[in-house]
Structure 1
Amino acid sequence: MSAALRWQATDDLSFTLAHERGDSEPMNYFGTPLIDGKYRDSLRDKNYNLRNAVQRYNDEWTRLNTDWTLNDSVSASNQLYYIKSRRHWRNAEAYNWSSAQGQLLRGDYLEIKHDQEQIGDRQSFTFNHSLFGLDSRTVLGAEYNRIRFDVTNNSPYNDVGGDFIDPWNPLRGDFQSQSPLQPLSESTTRTFALFAENRLQLSERWSLVTGIRRDQNHIDRNDMRSDNRNDRSLTGGNWRAGLVFAVTDQLSLYGQYSTSEDGVSNLISMTPAQQQMDLTEAKQTEFGLKQQFWDGRGEWTLAAYHIVKKKLLTLDPVTRVTQQVGQQSSDGLEASLELALAQGWHVSANAAVVRAEYDDFDESVAGQVVSRAGNRPTDVPSRTANLWLSKALSEDLDAGMGLRYVDERYANTANTTSIPGYTVLDANLGWTVQRDVRLGLQLNNLLDRRYAAAQYNNGQQWLMGEPRSFFVTADYSF
């Protein structure tokens, strides 16, 4: 459910109050297990989770936006926001085939509750001005937010061994755990950030784009079971600089270099050990072009990038202690095309090719330290593509059909198991009943293709893509 109310107080001042709320219970499905490393189609529609499994999300987001034009050169924007989220999981998440038993070992009986509350404010000012005699546009701003995050779970999950079940006739069973559900931690994360962006028109065709952001984070965490308290301040930031060259009014070239710093995991959920680690560092170089043609009826883009991420967690081969010395990199090429053809036809296409690999990454296997350098990270396809063809059948009716393609992906860091690529056909139909009423029909996986959308449990379970399905939508504008 969502709603918004806008008040135009004056010609130069407006307020927008918006609220969104969602309460969902998605399917408790953790994949189809492989039998002796092979997919069995007869198991596709089986669900090996528990009878009393829970997966529930309750989210709220309220925000007040204020937009104020002070004069022809200065404008201000403010967003005050409040987010509340409650999550509950209770599942058996792992299903491993045992050749000796001829059955599945169902395990990982995990129950987790998250209670998160966030309040924040973001203020920015935009200035249109002259800098060194050149046209310039500058954005200056600040943001503050506070996140309270409480975790309840049944760690240390002493009974993850689970029970054996028949994969073809599974007994659902009930959740069972020798580890009681109890509060684990309470944390408060405060973040204050300053940021600035600028676009400087160097000449009629050249422009310089720059940006910088600095974050000051402070995390207070209380372990509810040991009553130990710890805190850590983490200071990070990012900056970027790029040039844009307008070759013609229809063709632009650009190049950009950017950096970023992030926690080794989400700041609000970091363990005490992770809080003591440095922020990871990333650098990206990107070049690209954008061109319009056919009098604006066509547009294509092309971009090439190189990304390096450092200070990732890896295992020291001598001490066997986890350290922040790992590195991962990727090189990619992305392209897109938009064509407005005659008689109401429209073509939209995009494709991406990426070469990603671990540059420095060790892990422990059977007590031995093994290097994964040169391997491709898990769940990263080398190629993806989308093609969509649509037609306006009349002023009120339109239809479309498209293909989604995802290449093969590795399921483990050793690159010894993988999930196959897939191509799926979708379609849609839209009808504008009245000026303010539109009905839509979305058809997914039109040919009912059986494919693995993702993997789980180090590739032992395939998360199958949705079968042929349809959705009906209604949009009303007022």
Structure 2
Amino acid sequence: MYSQFNVCQFKKDGDIKTRSAYVFDTVELNDQWTLNGGIRYENFRVDNTTISREDNMWNYQAGVVYKPVRNGAIYLSYGTSSNPGGENLGQAGGADGPAGGATIRDLKPEKSRSWELGTKWDVMNERLSLTAALFETKKTDARSTDPVTGDVSLSGNNRVRGIELGATGAITPKWDVWAGYTHLDPKIKEYRSGNNDFSGKQIKFIAKNSASLWSTYKVHPQWTVGGGATYVGKRFVNDANTLELPSHTVYDAMIRYDVNKSVALQLNGNNLGDTRVYDASHVGLFANVGPGRSVMLTATYRYD
């Protein structure tokens, strides 16, 4: 009789080190106009034990807020961000195509530019806040693979446009609501991976439509009930748009009993319909299944 032990050795993929500093400020010009802005510096170094790369990145944000009346505001914001080469070091399976690991040592960071125009209004004696926003993010130098040489260059181009609507607050002193809807138009403007040209396709992993609603009502000074739903539209999981995760709607509910000012008991029921939910997918090879129906009872204690 003998025992056999297998010893597994794991090899380190490498190291990523980042250092950053930023400054942000808001200036009130008067009761109606406010300016805000900031700048961020980041040093990013990646090393896969064979080659290494170091990038110094500067990004900024600037915005203006105009309040035509006390309970309403309109804002405009613009900002930039960067994705350095090697940011996905250690990720296997090629999920990001040419956006992979530290072997991309001859490319500068990808840069994105975003703007947002929005408004917020407090209504019903300022108990309820209504919001709306239009926005767009462009990446005009995304990584793309040359079909002849196989070299990776910053010749890709994609953009996401969208609109977002929201409502948060109290409809009555006893009735609270949180609601939101988002519509996105995620488009690949120009992108190649090897011999495949995906220009004009929808960007993977992004649902065009999503919405959520949650509401609570105090039926008694000590009893509160609530419920809501979350919807996520279908999402493509590959660049060719031939594989997709189906849309889903999840329903949740709760009931809370306030024993006194300090102690409360709450019962939550999540995913009451036991809907099959796919949180994410790895380029169509497999998908992560989200939690099914669950019930949770919690007790909280607050003290001053």
**2:144 is the alignment partner of 1:319:** no
1:283 to 113, 119, 139: 113
2:299 counterpart residue number: 474
1:401 counterpart residue number: 227
Q: In 2, are the aligned partners of 1:206 and 1:244 still within 8 Å (CA)? A: yes
2:240 counterpart residue number: 414
Q: In 2, are the aligned partners of 1:403 and 1:423 still within 8 Å (CA)? A: yes
In structure 2, stretches of 5+ residues that fail to align are 1-5, 91-99
1:306 counterpart residue number: 136
1:252 counterpart residue number: 73
Q: In 1, are the aligned partners of 2:179 and 2:214 still within 8 Å (CA)? A: yes
Other structure's SS at 1:398 match: strand
Structure 1 residues 426 and 188, CA, compared in 2 at 3 Å: closer, same or farther? closer
Structure 1 residues 383 and 396, CA, compared in 2 at 3 Å: closer, same or farther? same
Deviations 1:63-108 (A, max 9, x none): xxxxxxxxxxxxxxxxxxxxxxxxxxxxxxxxxxxxxxxxxxxxxx
Structure 1 residues 265 and 301, CA, compared in 2 at 3 Å: closer, same or farther? farther
Pairing 1:107-122 to 2, within 5 Å after superposition: none
1:241 counterpart residue number: 62
Deviation at 1:404, TM superposition (A): 0.7
1:328 counterpart residue number: 158
Deviation at 1:276, TM superposition (A): 4.3
Distance 1:357 1:258 in 2: 20
In structure 1, stretches of 5+ residues that fail to align are 1-175
Q: In 1, are the aligned partners of 2:48 and 2:89 still within 8 Å (CA)? A: no
1:261 counterpart residue number: 82
Over the aligned positions, Cα root-mean-square deviation in angstroms equals 2.4
1:344 counterpart residue number: 174
Deviation at 1:209, TM superposition (A): 1.1
**2:283 is the alignment partner of 1:458:** yes
1:361 to 177, 188, 191: 191
Distance 2:233 2:285 in 1: 19
**2:131 is the alignment partner of 1:296:** no
Q: In 2, are the aligned partners of 1:264 and 1:312 still within 8 Å (CA)? A: no
Q: In 2, are the aligned partners of 1:452 and 1:462 still within 8 Å (CA)? A: no
Structure 1 residues 301 and 260, CA, compared in 2 at 3 Å: closer, same or farther? same
Q: Which amino acid aligns with 1:282?
A: S
Deviation at 1:361, TM superposition (A): 1.0
Distance 1:196 1:458 in 2: 38
Please give the TM-score of this superposition, normalised by the length of structure 1. 0.56
Structure 1 residues 370 and 217, CA, compared in 2 at 3 Å: closer, same or farther? closer
Distance 1:425 1:190 in 2: 41
Deviations 1:196-253 (A, max 9, x none): 222222233111111111122344x363xxxx4x443210021111111001000100
Distance 1:408 1:252 in 2: 34
Q: In 2, are the aligned partners of 1:189 and 1:268 still within 8 Å (CA)? A: no
Other structure's SS at 1:273 match: coil
1:207 counterpart residue number: 34
Other structure's SS at 1:443 match: strand
Q: In 1, are the aligned partners of 2:138 and 2:160 still within 8 Å (CA)? A: yes
If you compute each CA radius of gyration, which structure gives the higher value, 1 or 2? 1
Pairing 1:138-287 to 2, within 5 Å after superposition: 181-187=9-15, 189-191=17-19, 193-219=20-46, 221=47, 223=49, 228=50, 230-266=51-87, 271-287=101-117
Distance 2:16 2:207 in 1: 37
Please give the TM-score of this superposition, normalised by the length of structure 2. 0.86
Other structure's SS at 2:23 match: strand
Distance 1:332 1:209 in 2: 23
Q: How many residues end up aligned between the 2 structures? A: 289
1:81 counterpart residue number: none
Deviation at 1:190, TM superposition (A): 4.5
Structure 1 residues 264 and 356, CA, compared in 2 at 3 Å: closer, same or farther? farther
2:96 counterpart residue number: none
Q: In 1, are the aligned partners of 2:110 and 2:143 still within 8 Å (CA)? A: no
Q: In 2, are the aligned partners of 1:419 and 1:454 still within 8 Å (CA)? A: no
Q: In 1, are the aligned partners of 2:83 and 2:111 still within 8 Å (CA)? A: yes
Deviation at 1:285, TM superposition (A): 0.9
